[in-house]
Amino acid sequence: MRAGWLAAWLCVAAATGGLRAGDGEAAKLAPYYPTPQTIVGRMLQLGGLKAGEKVFDLGSGDGRIVILAAEKFHAQAVGIEIDADLCRQSLARIVKLGIEKSAHIVHGDLLAQNYSSADLVTVYLLPDSINGKVQPLLDRQLKKGARVVAHDFEFHNWTPEKVVNIADDGDGRSHTLFLYRK
């Protein structure tokens, strides 16, 4: 019951800006378009996520990458989401699944976070956001050996270690995943 009250407080705090990370006006770096569940698993596999590692999902939406990383890969998973409603939905699902110890959502600007502890970062953002804003931040913050998996849009100044083309996600859509290593 105590976890339920804590989760409710976290949702209210997130919705009112009490947990909002970063200062100033944060802009959305991509519209909300959820990654298909089949692609979520492929992204985490491609990134070589292992139990106990820390993964950040930039623009975590409904939390599906964070939840799968915590549940199936036993990782410490953190989602960064600017939309209060999506943050609330994610937190509620995490509490319902009982994975609050390993799955977390930060309501805030993904450009105002510290990713120096990341073993893996997952990204599904627009090219201008990736190359003009996110890439310079990750260049400065990621530790040697950290991996980045980008969905559909590549980091232009980085050379991918591996590129995976998925012809059909089960719904007839194709996807490309890019794996980078610092």
Q: Name, in order, each residue with C-beta under 8 angstroms of 81's C-beta and a sequence gap of 6 or more.
A: 59, 60, 61, 63, 87, 90, 105, 106, 107, 108
Give me the number of domains the chain comprises: 1
Taking a C-beta distance cutoff of 8 angstroms, is the pair 151, 123 a contact?
A: yes
Please give the model's pTM, rounded to 2 decimal places: 0.84
> By three-state DSSP, how is residue 154 classified?
coil
Q: How far apart are CA 92 and CA 96, in angstroms?
A: 6
Report the pLDDT value the prediction gives residue 15, as an integer from 0 to 100. 39
Tens digit of each residue's pLDDT, the chain (182 residues)? 333 333 333 343 333 333 333 333 345 667 787 899 999 999 999 999 999 999 999 999 999 999 999 999 999 999 999 999 999 999 999 999 999 999 999 999 999 999 999 999 999 987 877 878 999 999 999 999 999 999 999 999 999 999 999 999 988 999 999 999 99
The whole-angstrom distance between residue 174's C-alpha and the CA centroid of its chain comes to 21
pLDDT recorded at residue 166 = 96
Q: How far apart are CA 63 and CA 107, in angstroms?
A: 12
Residues 19, 106: contact at Cβ < 8 Å? yes
**3 close to 95: Cβ distance less than 8 angstroms:** yes
Task: Look at residue 38 in the predicted model and tell me its pLDDT.
Answer: 92
Question: How remote is the C-alpha of 32 from its chain's centroid?
Answer: 13
Give the structural domain span for 32.
2-21+28-181
Q: What is the CATH number of the domain that holds 107?
A: 3.40.50.150
Q: Which residues pair with 102 in a beta bridge?
A: none
CA distance 113 to 139: 13
What is the pLDDT, as a whole number, of residue 12? 35
